[in-house]
Amino acid sequence: MDRIFFGDNQFFGVNHMSEEKARQQQMRFQDLDAIMAVLRNAYEAGVTGFMCTTHERIGEVVQRIRHDRQNWDGFYFLPGMPYAHKYANAVTEHGYLGALKQFLPKEGLLDAAIRGGKAIATKDIQSMMTLLVDAEMRMFDGFDTPIIFLQNIVTDLLLGLGMEEAFAVFAKHVRARYGAEPGFFTMNLPMLLPVLHRAGLENPVVCANVNKLGFRMSGGIEAYRDACDRYPAKVIAMSVLASGAIPAAEAIEWVCNETYVQSIVFGASSRTNIASTVQLIRQFDGERQSA
C-alpha cells in the first residue's frame, strides 16, 4: 500500500471548518478541466493513487483518463461507496424502480434484478450488498482498483446496528469479483477494529481521521493507539490538518510519528500545496527512519 494518496473532498465543496471556502471550491470545480489540472499536479508530484467517491463527476474523470491513458501511466483509483446523495437524487428524479434500473450493472441485468428482488423481499444483506457494489463499480471498468472502500455512512451504520456479518460479505465479494482488498472508512476506529476482527478480517484497511487535535476522532487519540495495538490494521489517516486548524508542518510531523498510521490521504487545490504536502511527508518519514 502506498504511503501517500490523493483525495477528492475539495472537488465537491467539503470543508469541515469553512462553509465559504467549501462554496468557493464547489464553484471552481464545476469545470472538469479544473479537476483534471489538480489531479495532474498530484500525479506529477508522485501521487498515483486517487481515493474517490462514486460521484457523477468522478465518472467524467474516469472517462477523461480512459481516453488518455498513455499520459496517466500507473494512475489508479481507490473508490469508496456508496455515494448516498447520488441515490437520493436518483430516487427523487426517477422513483425507486427507475433509480434501481439506472444503477444496475450493465452485464447480467437479469441476475442483478433477481438479486435485488430477493434482497428487497427477504432483506438478504448479502444480495443487497453485492448488488450495490456491482452497481457502483460500473464506472471503473478496465481500471486497477486495488482497494474498494465502504463509505463511513454505511460502515458506521452497520456498526451501530450490530450487523457484523455485512463486513465479511462486503470483503468476500470485492476480493472474489474484483481481486481487490476491502477497505472501510469510519468515524469510530476504536469500535470498528474489534468488530472486523470478530468478522474474520485480519489486518484490515481502515481510513479514519487522525490528527494532533483529535478532531473527529471518536474516543480520542489514545483510544486509537490502543485499538491499533490490540487489533492491528493498515490505517490510512485522513483529515491530518484538522481542516486547516493545524499548521501543515506541525500536523504532518505529528502524524508521521504515529506508528500505526501506514498511509496518509490528503486533498489540496493548488500545485504548491500539493507539492509541499508530499515533500513534508517524505521529509518527516526520512527523519523518523534515520532517528
pLDDT tens across 132-145, in order? Answer: 899 899 999 999 99
Cβ contact 247:212 at 8 Å: no
How many domains in the chain? Answer: 1
Spatial separation of the C-alpha atoms in residues 91 and 249, rounded to whole Å: 44
pLDDT at 169: 92
pLDDT tens across 4-13, in order? Answer: 999 998 998 6
- The pTM of the full predicted model, rounded to 2 decimals, is 0.86
Altogether, the residues listed in the chain come to a count of 291
> In which element (H, E) is residue 227 found?
helix 221-230
pLDDT at 70: 96
Inside any domain, residue 193: no
Spatial separation of the C-alpha atoms in residues 137 and 81, rounded to whole Å: 9
pLDDT tens across 23-35, in order? Answer: 666 677 889 999 9
Cα-based distances in Å from 226 to 92, 233, 259, 279: 44, 12, 12, 29
Spatial separation of the C-alpha atoms in residues 275 and 134, rounded to whole Å: 35
Inside any domain, residue 172: no
Place of cell 493548488: 270
pLDDT at 82: 84
Cα-based distances in Å from 203 to 148, 164, 186, 194, 206: 15, 16, 15, 11, 9
Inside any domain, residue 219: no
Cβ contact 70:28 at 8 Å: no
Spatial separation of the C-alpha atoms in residues 136 and 128, rounded to whole Å: 12
DSSP sequence for 20-31: HHHHHHHHHTTS
Share of the chain above pLDDT 70, in %: 80
Inside any domain, residue 151: yes
Query: Angle 165-178/125-136 helices, nearest 10 degrees?
Result: 40
Range of the domain at 53: 4-160+242-290
Low-confidence ranges of the chain (pLDDT < 70): 13-26, 84-92, 94-126
pLDDT at 110: 47
* Beta-bridge mates of residue 182: 148
Inside any domain, residue 178: no
Inside any domain, residue 258: yes
pLDDT at 128: 72
Inside any domain, residue 131: yes
C-alpha cell at 278: 508530499
Inside any domain, residue 142: yes
